[in-house]
Each structure stands twice: as C-alpha cells, then as structure tokens.
Structure 1
Amino acid sequence: MASAEPGRWSTARTPYLREVMEALSPSSPIERVVLMAGAQVGKTECGLNWVGFVIHHAPGPMLLVEPSLETTKRVSRQRLDALIEATPELAERVKDPRSRDSGNTLLMKEFPGGVLILTGANSAVGLRSMPVRYLMLDEVDAYPGDVQGEGDPVELAMQRTVTFRRRKIYLCSTPTLKGLSRIERAYLESDRRVFEVPCDGCGRYLALAWRDIVWPEGRPEEAAWRCPYCETHHSEWRKPALLAAGRWRATASGDGRTAGFHLSSLYSPWLAWGEIARDFVAAKDDPARLKVWVNTKLAETWEDRLGESLDPAGLMSRREDFGLEPIPREVAILTAGVDVQTDRLEVELVGWGRDEESWSLDYRVIWGDPSAPKVWADLDEYLARRYPHATLPQGLFVEAACIDTGGHHTLAAYDYCRGKERRRIFAIKGAAGPRPIWPRRPGKANKGRIHLFTVGVDAAKETIYARLPKAPPGPGAMHFPRSRDLAWFEQLTAEHCVTRYVKGHPKREWVKDAGRRNEALDCRVYAYAALHALIAMGLRLNERADAIPKEPVAKTDKPVVSPAAAPQASRRRAIKSTYL
C-alpha cells in the first residue's frame, strides 16, 4: 500500500541508507541527522524504519512532524499503520486501534516505554505538546515560515528535545529555493557527506553528478554515467553493483554533532537515468518545470531573481500578429481572470496550448459600478461567448474563470459567483505564502456563504515571472498580441520578489513597485489559477492540445456542448468536480 515494492525491508536495495540509519541508532554520537535528497530515494521510508526501531529496541517519547495535519493523517493511515500491521514485533507492542483503550489513534501510538505523537507543522499546539527524546521532521522545506504567530515550526519542535542529553533529530526533505531552504541550511551546517561509487574503468570513487550523465543525440532513454576521468560508460544495469560498492565521504568538518547526507535521484533504484534524462529534456525549456526538476531530481536548490531583470519594453517588442478572430490553432483551452476595482472590472482571456504555452487573446476593461448589476451582466455575456478558432469549426468556450473577491465590492462579487460553479466560474481570494496555486477544497466561512477558493498567488507569480523572459514558442512560453500597449506590460511586470528576515528567518514577499499599477498581473494570476482548477478536475492539457486538427475542419450541424456543461460520468463525479 505504501510502496511500489511491498514486502520486507532490504537495505541491500538502497545501500546508501545504511550509514544514515546507523547515525540514527543510539550507539552513534551523532545528535542530528540531515538528509537532503531527491525523489524516490527512500528518505521518508528511512525515517519510518527509525520509528519502528525506536518502538522495538529503544523506546522513548517521539514526535513525528509532517508539513500539515492533513499530510500527517495520510501518513499515519497509509504508511505508519501499514508498517505496524505488517511487522509482528511492532504489532505486539502497539495495540490494535479497534481494541478498547488501545492507545492507538490517528495521531498517537502508545507502546511499552514510550509514545509516538504525530502532528503537522501548521499546528502550534501539536509542536509544544510534550518533551521528546526523538524527533523526526519530514519534508521540512514545505513547513510554513511561522506557525500561528508562535515562530518557526522547526525551532518549536526542537525545543521539545532540549531536556534529553542523548536526543536524536532527523531532518529530511527535497530542497526548494536557495537562501530559503531549511534542509540546505541544515546540510551546510553539517559535515556534508556525499555518496561515491567506484568507476569500472579507473577505480576512482566519484559522486554521481548530472554533468556526467550522457546519452546519444535524441535518445535520452539510453542515458548512462560517464566517468569524467577515464570516460568509461556505465549503463543503467550497472547501478545496483555501483551502489553496493559505494561509500560516504565527508567534505566538511561540520560541528561534530550533525551528520549531513546529500542524495540526488541519480542514486535511486526506482528511477532510471533514462527517465531522469527524459524528464530533463521535457523541462529544460520551461523555467517553472526545470525548477521542479532541479529540486526533486538533483536535490539542489533553485536560485532565481524574479522580476529584477524584466523589461516592459523588451517584452513589448515580442508582440505578434494574432487575436480573437480567429484564435490561433495551437490554443486548446480558454480561461479568464477577472480583477474587481472600484469603478470597473478588468478581464484577461488566455488561451492555453501544449505544455502550458499561453496566448493573451484579449484584455478589456468593463467600466461601471460593480455594486450595480449591469457591469456583471456585461461580464456574464463576455464569459458565455463562443470564440472562433483557426481549425475548430465550432470554436472554443471559456472553460473556467476566476473572479477576485478579496478586494473591492466583495459582496457584489459573491452574488455574481453564486450558483455558477457548474459553469466553472469560481469566487477566489489570493493568499501569499507557500501554498498551492489551487486549493484542494474551498472554504465557506464568508459573508456570502458561497464556496470560496483561496489561490496561492505567490506560486502563480513565481511561475509567470520565470516564464516571461523566455521567447516563444515552446513549453511555458507566453505570446502577446500586437494590440497591447506599454502600459499593459508595465502592469504585468509591476512587482518583484524580495527576501526579508522575520525574527531571524528568511521570508519571500512580492512587493509592488511604487507608483505602478498591477491589474494586468493580477488578471494573469487568476487566469492561470483557473487553468489549475481545470487540471485539478481532471483536464489533460497536452491531450487536448494534441487533438486539435492542424487544418480547418468543415462545420457540421452537430450541436456544440460547452465542456463545462457536458454530462459527467456519474452524479458523484459531478459533485466532486464542481465542489458542490
């Protein structure tokens, strides 16, 4: 249930984890173990093995922290409970949760001599619940910067261990942004160990590095590791033997109490070098996707200077000849973002193609008092139109729209959005900080008593600003029509990202340049959020884009049904997909 390879644990499958787990044992003088790792290398499973060891061999109070309470509950159900149930030595120590007074709940596992408490980094109460000897901090780079006004969750959790002289702390995560990454900061304070494997040709021990992964032109699936000294090629089938013969080497002195381990996904027995190379080829031209690849595959931080080098006039010089009549052939999906101002609505209509390549098809200002019905009627007529397409005879509909309700005329915006979710017209409000672009579910704690979706505007802006410098065409590229003036591009680039230190901890914030308006940027953020809403509901953008005919198709009498109104497979699916 929790693994692609069910069965008993075998360290021989991941020999690089042996030294990590030994550092976590009571016999090791190491106090803090840091694992900065890529995807699919076993970092969380390593921590769960440690949990099992503590229950079986070294009982004591233990705290396991996940990024959120929701994630904690999922880990408890799907991974921890499965581990206890499948291991007789643990099952006899942790009682069945169905028994009376078992001491086995979703967030607490009692066992002879100790207890395991599980909590989320977003819960201040859980982080200051009790003193603990053992502390596991999983995916620390996904923790909030401040938990309910009480400070950094990592520091709060570590304070639970100060009364124990022989404490053990395990931090693991994939890294994120340079200068903000907690796991990178902890790794740099350690002895910075790297895992080296012997070359078949010259026998030198070397760390696997991306610069040494090579493949024949146009065939990334045949990627191999090439020794930088003797140029011996090592094919994928050699990886298990290389890992078995590998060893860790410290590259810094550290503080003597912290052991740091760095592992990229190049070491993973579940990810072939060819898969990683193929993912790189797909992501290399899109900065937003390349950032994820660097974080999750290379286990390295991403450094960017968002907004600092964007030139409005330079972007304006990239304008092209296209518009609404007709929509370019490559466009498969239409979304809209609506910004509400005191005396108008501003709307951007965006077309999306393969790999999120986008076309700004239309931008208009609907003048009028948003507290009166006419301006909303004009917006409704605009969003209900069918737009002509270069090769689709029936044209395209606006498949999703996000309406900003967090600023001016909030109640009027609520009234307009009420009852329109089946048309995929969503009431949204933006929120800063590390959160996904589109939420898992809406809230209803608002005066309008409607479903309100909280959009992660920072994540959307990061993606947009990373893509703006890229000249089209290509994945993530942004196309602008000839009709846009300089003022619009100045609005689109009106913000930049800065790092500020709050109580000694770095925090990224988006700030608007003095004297500049940013409605164009807000509209693009909302239109991008609408695309993410469709993706969350099952849209496969590339499949839709690939299905667009290359040549115009003759128009038929077959009635056109908006995708928003198309019948669902079941009533349950319809409810789920529209959040009703």
Structure 2
Amino acid sequence: MNSQTTTEKYSQLKQNVRKLWTPPPELNVSQWADQHRKLSPEASAEPGRWRTDRAPYQRGMMDAVNEVGVREVVFMTSAQIGKTEILNNILGYFVHQDPAPILFIQPTLDMAEAWSKDRLAPMIRDTDALTGLFRDAKTRNSDNTLLHKKFTGGHLTMAGANSPSSLASRPIRIVLLDEEDRYPVSAGSEGDPGSLAQKRTTTFWNRLLVSASTPTVEDESKIEARYQQSDQRKYYVPCPACDATQVLSWQQIKFEKGKPETTCYECENCKERLTDAQKPWMLTHGEWVAEAAFNGSIGFHISELYSPWVRWAEMVENFLKAKRLPETLKVWVNTSLGETWKEATEGIDPSGLLKRKENWGRIAPEEVVVITAGVDVQDDRLEAEVIGWGIGQESWSLQYHVLHGDPAQAKLWEDLDNVLGQTIKTVDGRTLSVGAACVDTGGHFTQKVYEYCKAREYRRIYAIKGASQIGKPLVSKFSKANKLRVKLFSIGTDTAKQMIYSRLKIHQPGPGYCHFPSDYPEEYFKQLTAERIQTKFINGHPTRIWVLAKGRRNEALDCRVYGLTALHILNPNLDALAQDQEREKLKQKEDQPAEPKANEWMGYEDWNFS
C-alpha cells in the first residue's frame, strides 16, 4: 500500500516537473484571448470569459500581430468596435506568451494613470494567466508602480503623449498607441509622440508598433496617414439573400424620413432589405481583404455598422441628432463611421453676412432663452459682445460694445459692469440677464482681469486663457494656480473658431444659425471673418493654423469665441428652456379670460367688420 502510494506520488511529481519545463503551446492572439482572457465587471458590459466569436471581425485584427514580417498594425475604427479590448488582448498575449519591454501610450498622463487603475489592474486580477506574472499589486517599489510594472521576462511602461519625460526612457520592443489622433502635435519640444516611441524600438529585430484610434480631420489625421501606408484591409461580408460580398457602407442604410425604427440595410447587389437580425450571420461569414500591397504594415478600417453592440436604427437616431450642427456631425462621422472629417478651410466673405442683417430693435427675439457675453481686453479699450441663444445654439448678436479707456483704471471696469449687469427684454415680455461671461486674460492686464473676475465669480463672470493647441476641447476644467485663486478656464480657440466658421456657413435659420442686427457696421463682419486656416507642417505632420489676414483686426471674432465659451461653461439645456417658455406662453393664454360672445351682451350691429 505504501509502495503504491509512493509510486503515485512519484508519478504526480514527474507530471508536475514535465508541466513546469514544457513550453506553453504556441497560440495566436485570438486563441490566447479565447483561452485565457476574462473581462472584468467594472470594465465591461459583458463580464466573464472573452469570446472572439461575439465580434468575428476582431479575430483578424488581433492575429495580425502574429503574421510574418509585420512591423506595424493600424486600427482606424469607429467607436463600439472593441479596439481598446483588442489592444488589451495584444498586451496580455505578449506578457504571457512572448514577454518583452512594452510601452503603452495614452493621449495624456492622466489618462494613462486612469487606464492603469481602471483597465489594467482588473485585467491582471481576473485573468489567471497574468495574475502570477506581475508583482503583488499591494507591493509598492520600483518594480510595481502605477505607471511601471515588471513581469516575468519583461516590463510594462505606461505613458502620456503630452509628457516628454514619460516617453524618454529605456529601449522598447512593443509599442501600443491608444487614440493616437488625440495626441498633441509635439511632446513638449521633443517632437511627435508616436514617432518618438517608434524610435525606441529600432534596436529590436522583432519590434512591433500597434496604433488604434478613431480618426479626426482629413489630411491631418495620424491614424489615417498610417492606414494609407498600410495594406488597407476592409471587412467584406456576404449578403444572406444573394451571397454577394461587400463592405458595409452608410450610403446603403435606408429608412423612412423621421422614422429610425424603419431602418434597414440595402444590399448593393440584389437590393434586398436586410435587418439587424441578419448581421451576426454576415459577420461570422465575413473576411478581411487587403486593398494595397503588404509592406510590413497591416491596416484595418471598420465602422460602427459592423458592431454587434449597436443597432442600425440606433445609428440613424444618433445621425438625426448629430446633423443639426456641423461640430456634432463631425463627431458622428469620426466616431460612428470611423472616417475623417473634411474641414471647410476656405474663408468667409463678410459681404454675405451683411445681407442677412435683421431689425429687431433693442429687445431680444422671443426665441432667445439664454444670454452670454464675451470680453476682449485691449491696451486702450474693452470690447464686448452680448449674445442670445436659442434651440440648437441658434444665436442672435444682441449688442456689441466698444468701451474706450485705460484698463488700469477702475472707470473702464465700471463701464463693463453696466454692460454685463444689464437686463434685456424679449419680444414676448420676459426679462433676461447675462447668464455667464468670459473675459480674456491674454493681454497686458492679466492681474486686472483676475481682480475683476474674482469679485464677480458668483455672477458667473470668468477669466479665460486661450490655447491654440489643435484639437483641444473648447472648455477644459478650470485651474486656480494663481495668486488670487481665480477660476481660470483654458479654452481651445482652434475648436471654437472652427465651430463659429462652420455655423457662419449655415444659410437657413435653425440650429447653429447666426443672426445679426441691422445696425452693425461692415467693420464688425470684417473682424468676425478676419482669419483663415492655413496648413503648415509641424514635426513632419500637416497641421491647421489660424492666420489673421494682413491689415485686418479680429476683436469681433475673439468676443464671439469668448461668448461661445461662456455658453459651454454655463451648459444650459437650451431645448428644455425653450419648451418651458412655450408651456408658460400656453398657460398664460389659457389663464386669460375668454373673448365675450356677441349674443351675450353685444348686438350684431355693435361689431366692427370693416
């Protein structure tokens, strides 16, 4: 009995030793994900075991890193495709199957920290194949920090594209770039972040760079440039009716006007109307097809039309909402179609705006529900525009003031108080005040602006500072890093000007349309349209730059930028306010006494029909 037990123990020991010394089976990324990856409940709407079959197009995207001769893999995609989890699977694969020095770059250092805490840590915790390879998460030393983690055979560094110091360290074999189109043009003064990271891989013969991003602006998009230099793969799916293969295209989405629930997909070949119920079969039988020669770079382009998590009717609903304004349509094209947006870079003729002037007197049109103001500070004056806003950010320039005086003296700021503290009547009898105002701090009187705004923050009068960084959000979280602890908002002037110019090109009243009063001089419109977009190459990448036309002034444009910024800081629900206003009108109408009937107390002859 004891001899048998000893034999069994010896046999088990041999099996354990054999397991220890037997290399893991050679897997590609999708096989690794299907066998090992667990989706965490706090990071996924579908927690549990990973199934590539859930979105079959992901198989080819993941397995591209295993193809012979590949140096670069590019994912130009919409949202809702799973690209972030694809990157996570590629990361997990290399950590477990082919360990190496890895660099994972997010657009900002804050985003890198958030990804480490919210995505990486749960993935390591819930994926058994990874858990034992990293040091204990509770251990805090140089081997395990928020942005740098060692694992068996390699290490992972997480960086922000906006932080030169986080990009400048040791050689790297695997580089993963997430949302590259959101990277700054330059990491400090060092140059393009993606190019800097790629240089770090040159000493490795088996190096690899993977970039995934939704695209942005045509001819500027970094992911578009990478995709155009790749073999340009697209996912062809068969029609269930005629078996003809095709790339799903927005042009083939059909629906009755105003009825998203009628949405279907029309086959390019047989014109059969297909539904979402047929999409899983189409995805399962689809395949990636390269449309250019392979040169070491594999590229994938795919849109939300393929997503198993988004219905075609839902895309139509989002499109109908987005098309109201150029800037929201741009976001939809980028994030739903995964396509670049073509900016209208030509200038605007001020004479065209002169023709749209209207006469509404000194009271605001009844459509106005919110008022904001923007203030530009010059050496010998202040200029301020008071703007009314309605449904869909339709705007009315209510007043434009040029206040002459010395900004160093109190008198000029008292004059500004009179402008920002006024009330304005509307055609339908309401009284509105300025809901929010922004005052520029970029001139020679920064301290005076700080003092003025600090005392009036309770009235939502804010100090702002423009930042011309391409792609910067219109409004960023305020900072108080100044002596007076003033709320200072950093604003994306490039974004604001693009929004304004896009709206000036809307020709029919409605969402985004800009109204101007009849008493504005031609000079106002010249200033409003004084800038043009020029494309210059910065660090080898084409970049849009706003340039002031020679001999022109642009104070009116600046005031409009600041007034728009004030609206976005205030962030009112304009549609809801307009609906409330309409309900109030109806209520007042109902409360009015009814007109007397003629036969009650007036004779027929008493009515005047002339």
**Higher alpha-carbon deviation: 546-555 or 162-171:** 546-555
> Residue 60 of structure 2 aligns to which amino acid in structure 1?
E
> Residue 275 of structure 1 aligns to which amino acid in structure 2?
E
> Residue 455 of structure 1 aligns to which amino acid in structure 2?
I
Q: Are positions 1:296 and 2:329 aligned together?
A: no
Q: Deviations over 1:149-206 (max 9, x none)?
A: 1111111000111111111211010111111100000000001000011012221110
Residue 10 of structure 1: aligned partner: 51
> In the TM superposition, what are the counterparts of 1:388-399 in structure 2 within 5 Å?
388-391=425-428, 393=430, 395-399=431-435
Q: Alpha-carbon deviation of 1:544? A: 2.2
RMSD, aligned CA: 1.8
Q: Alpha-carbon deviation of 1:359? A: 1.3
Residue 463 of structure 2: aligned partner: 427
Q: Are positions 1:523 and 2:559 aligned together?
A: yes
Q: Alpha-carbon deviation of 1:137? A: 0.5
Which one scores higher on RCO, CA 8 angstroms, separation ≥ 6? 1
- TM value normalised by structure 1: 0.91
Distance 1:323 1:186, change over 3 A: farther
1:312 to 335, 345, 350: 350
Write the distance in 2 (CA, Å) between the matches of 1:35 and 1:100. Answer: 35
Q: Deviations over 1:301-356 (max 9, x none)?
A: 111233x241111111011232541x222222111100011121111111112221
1:500 to 512, 530, 536: 536
Write the distance in 2 (CA, Å) between the matches of 1:554 and 1:399. Answer: 25
1:209 to 235, 245, 249: 249
**Higher alpha-carbon deviation: 140-149 or 82-91:** 82-91
Write the distance in 1 (CA, Å) between the matches of 2:315 and 2:300. Answer: 21
Write the distance in 2 (CA, Å) between the matches of 1:111 and 1:62. Answer: 11
- Paired residues of 2:246 and 2:268 also in contact (CA < 8 A): no
Q: Are positions 1:355 and 2:388 aligned together?
A: no
> In the TM superposition, what are the counterparts of 1:310-349 in structure 2 within 5 Å?
310-325=348-363, 327-349=364-386
Distance 1:219 1:406, change over 3 A: same
Distance 1:254 1:329, change over 3 A: farther
> Residue 104 of structure 1 aligns to which amino acid in structure 2?
N
Distance 1:309 1:427, change over 3 A: closer
Q: Deviations over 1:193-251 (max 9, x none)?
A: 00011012221110000111111222123321111221011111211111111111111
Distance 1:448 1:497, change over 3 A: farther
Residue 572 of structure 1: aligned partner: none
Write the distance in 1 (CA, Å) between the matches of 2:568 and 2:547. Answer: 24
1:20 to 61, 80, 88: 61
- Paired residues of 1:66 and 1:120 also in contact (CA < 8 A): yes
Write the distance in 1 (CA, Å) between the matches of 2:124 and 2:490. Answer: 37
SS at match of 1:402: strand
Write the distance in 1 (CA, Å) between the matches of 2:550 and 2:410. Answer: 33
Write the distance in 1 (CA, Å) between the matches of 2:213 and 2:157. Answer: 20
Write the distance in 1 (CA, Å) between the matches of 2:434 and 2:82. Answer: 43
Write the distance in 2 (CA, Å) between the matches of 1:396 and 1:106. Answer: 50
Q: Deviations over 1:234-273 (max 9, x none)?
A: 1112111111111111111142x10000011111122211
Write the distance in 2 (CA, Å) between the matches of 1:471 and 1:164. Answer: 56
SS at match of 1:462: helix
Residue 317 of structure 2: aligned partner: 278
Distance 1:324 1:170, change over 3 A: farther
Q: Are positions 1:239 and 2:282 aligned together?
A: no
- Paired residues of 1:472 and 1:479 also in contact (CA < 8 A): no
Q: Alpha-carbon deviation of 1:381? A: 2.5
Q: Are positions 1:143 and 2:143 aligned together?
A: no
> In the TM superposition, what are the counterparts of 1:477-496 in structure 2 within 5 Å?
477-496=513-532
Q: Alpha-carbon deviation of 1:113? A: 0.6
Residue 4 of structure 2: aligned partner: none
Write the distance in 2 (CA, Å) between the matches of 1:341 and 1:284. Answer: 37
Write the distance in 1 (CA, Å) between the matches of 2:57 and 2:302. Answer: 9
> Residue 369 of structure 1 aligns to which amino acid in structure 2?
D
Which of the two has higher C-alpha Rg?
Answer: 2
- Paired residues of 1:354 and 1:546 also in contact (CA < 8 A): no
Distance 1:336 1:515, change over 3 A: same
SS at match of 1:150: coil
SS at match of 1:165: coil
- Paired residues of 2:240 and 2:278 also in contact (CA < 8 A): no
- TM value normalised by structure 2: 0.86
Q: Are positions 1:171 and 2:211 aligned together?
A: yes
Q: Alpha-carbon deviation of 1:15? A: 0.9
**Higher alpha-carbon deviation: 328-337 or 201-210:** 328-337
> Residue 357 of structure 1 aligns to which amino acid in structure 2?
E
Q: Are positions 1:128 and 2:161 aligned together?
A: no
Q: Are positions 1:513 and 2:553 aligned together?
A: no
Q: Which runs of 5+ in 2 are unaligned?
A: 1-41, 590-610
Q: Are positions 1:542 and 2:575 aligned together?
A: yes
> Residue 415 of structure 1 aligns to which amino acid in structure 2?
E
Q: Are positions 1:436 and 2:473 aligned together?
A: yes
- Paired residues of 1:392 and 1:548 also in contact (CA < 8 A): no
Q: Alpha-carbon deviation of 1:106? A: 1.4
Residue 253 of structure 1: aligned partner: 293
Q: Are positions 1:92 and 2:92 aligned together?
A: no
Write the distance in 2 (CA, Å) between the matches of 1:51 and 1:419. Answer: 51
Question: Among the aligned pairs, what percent are the same residue?
Answer: 45
Q: Deviations over 1:120-158 (max 9, x none)?
A: 001112212111111100101111111111111111000
- Paired residues of 1:63 and 1:136 also in contact (CA < 8 A): yes
> Residue 313 of structure 1 aligns to which amino acid in structure 2?
S
> Residue 409 of structure 1 aligns to which amino acid in structure 2?
F
Residue 570 of structure 1: aligned partner: none
Q: Which runs of 5+ in 1 are unaligned?
A: 556-580
Write the distance in 2 (CA, Å) between the matches of 1:408 and 1:275. Answer: 50
